[in-house]
Amino acid sequence: MKKLSTLMALSTGGIMAFTACGDGGGKARAVSLTSARYGETGGAEVTQYTLTNANGMIVKVLNYGGIITDIITPDKSGAPGNVVLSYDSLSGYLQAGNPYFGTLVGRYANRIANAQFSLDGVTYKLAPNNNGNTLHGGLKGFDKVIWKATPQAGDSSLLLEYRSADGEEGYPGNLDVKVVYTLTADNALQIDYTATTDKATPINLTNHSYFNLSAGQSHDILGHELQLRAPRYTPVNENLIPLGRLDSVAGTAMDFTTPHKIGERISQVQGGYDHNWVLEEGEGLQEFGMLYDSVSGRVMTVATTEPGVQFYSGNFLDGSLKNTRNNAVYGKHAGMCLETQHFPDSPNQPSFPSAILRPGETYKQTTVYRFAVRK
């Protein structure tokens, strides 16, 4: 895996993986997987699956929407905390206006302009659910369906499967999607996506977790330090649709090639950060980003096979969400997203990397979120 050349710049004391205590033999135990009923929606049972490794890292996932409800990791003093924004029950995730907390997003993550695209001479109409554009798959995207969930051998992974029928939300082709969540022994959450189709179709899958590495100690993420190995970004119009060009980040508030606090220059960006960064070109899984919270000492690095990442600074959170975990008030900038992806509106932007999947091809995407602490 290609590493950021300045990863260690955030830490004069070094970045340390958290490890299990009390294991005299030094041998890590296998990751465990358990499940429990979480509720019901539309007559279907919702189950929560819990992955736990020997170091005490915990990841909890629902079969509804593929939602990550918890990523629990220790801070620099060893105290565990949930580093993603979440709710106290299923009702939170079902409420109107839920901003995709922890969800799997598809068939096409991010925006498609004017809720339509043309492919092979045919124009396809989609649901205009965001200022006349289509956002995150439409009215009922992958975030609002029940996935078939199957624990995998070894109990370190959970397989989720869903067939998106031809014409669902206006998209062509029967799309068969598989997503595997894996909790590793070295404190990483790996997400592997694959898909096949029987008709050409756009596809762009991602996860929409909102991170706050302080686990509630800080009410916003403006003090978090972010670094992105991304020399360019895609500028957008007032409705967050790309203008079709790739601009350099150099000398702008979009430059995170060296670490900056998120709040340091956010006032220079109209509306806050909600843009696609163009990652350095390379092959295979590449580490491109680091997020650091000095309050807790937690560090998260991110690697992906995708060409871009949407950094969203939680600009539309307004404190109105109900059934939040521990009655937390999720106000503006309470959490931030790093959504690995193809570029927004790629089906209408011929100069962008193609996001079209055709019969006989297999869509593949891998993203890894790795957690550690800085002492």
Distance CA 276, CA 29 (A): 39
List 365's β-bridge partners, or say none: 193
Residue in this structure with the two tokens 């090639």, named with its chain if needed: 257
275 counts as catalytic: no
Q: How many CB atoms lie within 10 A of CB 186?
A: 14
Pairing of strands 286-292, 225-228: antiparallel
CB 203, CB 176: distance < 8 Å: no
Nearest by Cα to 365 from 278, 357, 242: 357
Q: Which of 169, 225, 306, 339 is catalytic?
A: 339
Q: Which of 208, 224, 275, 333 is catalytic?
A: 208
Alpha helices of the chain — where are they, by DSSP H?
90-94
Pairing of strands 116-119, 122-125: antiparallel
Retrieve residue 12's tokens: 């004069």
Q: What is the DSSP string of 84-133?
A: B--BSSHHHHHSTT---TT-EE-SB-SEEGGGEEEETTEEEE----BTTB
Number of alpha helices (DSSP H) and beta strands (DSSP E) in the chain: 1, 28
The length of the chain in residues reads: 375
3-state secondary structure at position 7: helix
> What would you measure as the largest C-alpha separation in the chain, in angstroms?
65
Nearest by Cα to 49 from 216, 211, 179, 175: 179
339 counts as catalytic: yes
- Contacts with 96 (C-beta within 8 Å, 6 or more apart), sequence order: none
Residues designated catalytic: 208, 339
